[in-house]
Amino acid sequence: QSFKLLGFLDVKSVPCARESVLYGSVGSLVVGLGHFLATSRVRRSCDFAVGGFICTMLGYWFYCRYSLAQHRIRQRMLKEGMRNKILFEGSSLDPERKQTGNERSDS
């Protein structure tokens, strides 16, 4: 069963959505409560809490998506490197293969 936030954001299947909502909730609580303790103005503190939720959620969303993209790029590079290692291992194109004097003069 999936949980849809605002009717369109499927929190369970979208990467980083769940964590963003959770961190946004904590950010909302911290900012709203902090503002209330500092000023004792309820309505204004609720406004700050909503702003804190939006800022924290979007901030973590972009951070998480950026980290996920970097992770996928590193994964793709590693996969390609492993494929090339298997493909070129033992051949003359293997960069780790030590060349002898005869092989150097042939090329």
Residue 98, pLDDT > 90, answer no
Angle in degrees, 0-180, between the axes of helices 42-88 and 17-39, rounded to the nearest 10: 150
Nearest CA-CA partner of 55 in 20, 93, 13, 12: 20
Tell me if 102 is assigned to some domain. Answer: no
In a domain, 27, yes or no: yes
Q: What total of structural domains would you count in the chain?
A: 1
State the Cα angle at 48 between 47 and 54, rounded to 5°.
Answer: 95
Does any domain span residue 93? no
Neighbours of 28 (CB within 10 A): 21
**Residue 2 belongs to a domain:** no
Q: What is the pLDDT of residues 4-31, one digit of tens each?
A: 666 666 777 778 888 998 999 999 999 9
Distance CA 22, CA 18 (A): 6
- Is residue 63 situated within a structural domain? yes
| Domain membership flag for residue 44 | yes
Domain that holds residue 19: 15-85
Instruction: Read off the tokens for 74.
Output: 């590193």
pLDDT, tens digit (0-9, with 9 covering 90-100), for 29-40: 999 999 999 999
| Cα–Cα nearest to 58, from 47, 69, 66 | 66
